Amino acid sequence: MNNIFKNAIDELRNGNPIVISTVVQTKGSTPQKPGAKLLVKSDGSGIGTLGGGCVEGDIWFESTQLLNNNETPKYRDYVLNEELAAEDGLICGGTMYFLIDPIYSSKQFLPIANEINDALNGKGSVSLATLISSNNNQHIGKKMLIREDGSTIGTLGNTTINKDAMNRSKAVMIHGTYEYILSPSGEQYFLEGFTNPPTIILCGGGHVSKAISSLASTLGFKITITDDRKEFANSKRFPEATNIHLGKPENILKEININRNNFIIIATRGHRYDNTALKAAIDTNAHYIGLLGSKRKTILIYKELLQLGYDLSRIKEIHAPIGLDINATSPAEIAVSIISEILMVRDGGTGQSMKIEEKRIDKLINSIK
């Protein structure tokens, strides 16, 4: 995502028009989810992906046609039936909805792109509302950027829809998510949140944390390490880490800026250290807090927290023992278990097996008899 807006800024500053196509809604099984983007430059090259195959090829071609003909933004659907998908090796069938958005001048979009790029690099959070359907086709593509303090750039065309977008903006900007919306006045718009990349904060630099750091960094997470032992908190041990803090985790957690795009993992060297780190963690706004250890240790720590007056509802939000049950034993296996749970929480998964149900296999068998 960073590359999309960074390249958009570079192209516009050089006076080159661009097209940004965005998946704004999907139905059924599709190769990409809402929020996916493709930037097509005036020279025909591109950045990003809409899922590959015929989908991407057709939207890419249409983008260049809009640029060549100096046309206005376009909202369209793309039906990907099973036969068409199979031709590209895609085992899916559904409908994708796109906003194909040509941008010819830097005057209006460049300030928006700059603030989105800043947000993606850790400088606050913003949301972007884009009108995708309106009775007035000239309004399609109108944009309004909304900042954390409620100030805005641009408009969607009327105060009703502007107010609706502003009321919804906080939730998506905090988590960097998106929402397709049919407004009270009948227009349709797409609301996207942009924030810094998700960050895993590892309290403790032991073997499991080392395995988590290596795996999580390949998935796009930034890594922060905190440990009060120099031999466990250093760049040689954690080369992937963006930030390494030498100090007690409970002190470091109070000093660093923690937001809803942060995931704290408590994996210190003992019960007493876990307890104090967890107390500091639950006082933060982190989206996820996980505690490594046994159920017995978890119960003992929960008992201490309740005796100290910590709120039961907040304690129930802790993921402890941490991870999904895959019968993990080694640090690498435990890391897979933990990262899988974090992805599930972040992206709204169930953690259940995706194996096809037996009743569907029975239905298939009956259909070919």
The full DSSP string for 330-344 is SHHHHHHHHHHHHHH
Q: What is the mean pLDDT of residues 346-351?
A: 86
Question: Cβ contacts of residue 314 below 8 Å, gap of 6+?
Answer: 282
The span from the CA of 291 to the CA of 338, in Å, is 10
| Residue 26 CA: distances (Å) to CA of 87, 222, 264, 295 | 20, 29, 32, 41
Note the pLDDT of residue 131.
Answer: 95
* Predicted TM-score of the model (pTM): 0.66
Spatial contact of 4 and 37, defined as CB atoms under 8 Å apart = yes
Q: Which residue has the higher pLDDT, 55 or 279?
A: 279
Q: Which amino acid is at 294?
A: S
User: Is the pLDDT at 260 greater than 90, yes or no?
Assistant: no
In this structure, what DSSP letter does residue 34 have? Answer: T
pLDDT of residue 291: 97
84 pLDDT higher than 60: no
User: CA–CA distance from 350 to each of 316, 346, 347 (Å)?
Assistant: 18, 11, 9
Of 336, 172, 346, 200, nearest to 281 by C-alpha is 200
Minimum mean pLDDT range among 250-254, 255-259, 311-315, 316-320:
255-259
Query: Residue 73 and residue 88: Cα distance in Å, rounded?
Result: 27
pLDDT at 52 over 90: no
Confidence class for position 220, pLDDT limits 50, 70, 90? confident
Count CB neighbours of 153 within 10 A: 16
Question: Does the structure show a pLDDT above 90 at 2?
Answer: no
Q: Mean pLDDT throughout 9-21?
A: 95
pLDDT of 90 above 90: no
Residue 44 near residue 64 (C-beta atoms within 8 A): yes
Neighbour order of strands in the sheet with 37-41? 46-48, 37-41, 18-29, 93-103, 74-80
Decide: 211 and 238 in contact? Cβ < 8 Å.
no
Are the C-beta atoms of 226 and 233 separated by less than 8 Å?
yes
Domain extent listing, the chain: 14-104, 106-196, 199-347
**Average pLDDT, rounded, for the chain:** 90
pLDDT band of 124, cuts 50, 70, 90: confident
Confidence of residue 91 (pLDDT cuts 50, 70, 90): very low
pLDDT at 123: 80
Res 93: pLDDT: 64
What average pLDDT score do residues 236-247 get? Answer: 96
Least confident of 112-116, 185-189, 299-303: 185-189
With beta carbons less than 8 A apart as the criterion, state whether 37 and 6 touch: no
Domain 199-347 - what CATH class? alpha beta
- Compute the chain's Rg from CA coordinates: 24
Confidence of residue 92 (pLDDT cuts 50, 70, 90): low
pLDDT at 85 over 90: no
Residues paired with 21 in a beta bridge? 38, 100
Q: Decide which of 332 and 348 is more confident.
A: 332
Task: Give just the sign of the alpha carbon dihedral 222, 190, 33, 342.
Answer: positive
Helix, strand, coil in percent for the chain, rounding step 5: 40, 25, 35
Model pLDDT, residue 336: 98
Query: Is the bond preceding 321 in cis, omega lying within 30 degrees of 0?
Result: yes
**Is it the case that residue 98 has pLDDT exceeding 90?**
yes
Residue 99 pLDDT exceeds 90? yes
Q: Report how far residue 118's alpha carbon sits from residue 123's, in angstroms, rounded to the nearest whole number.
A: 5
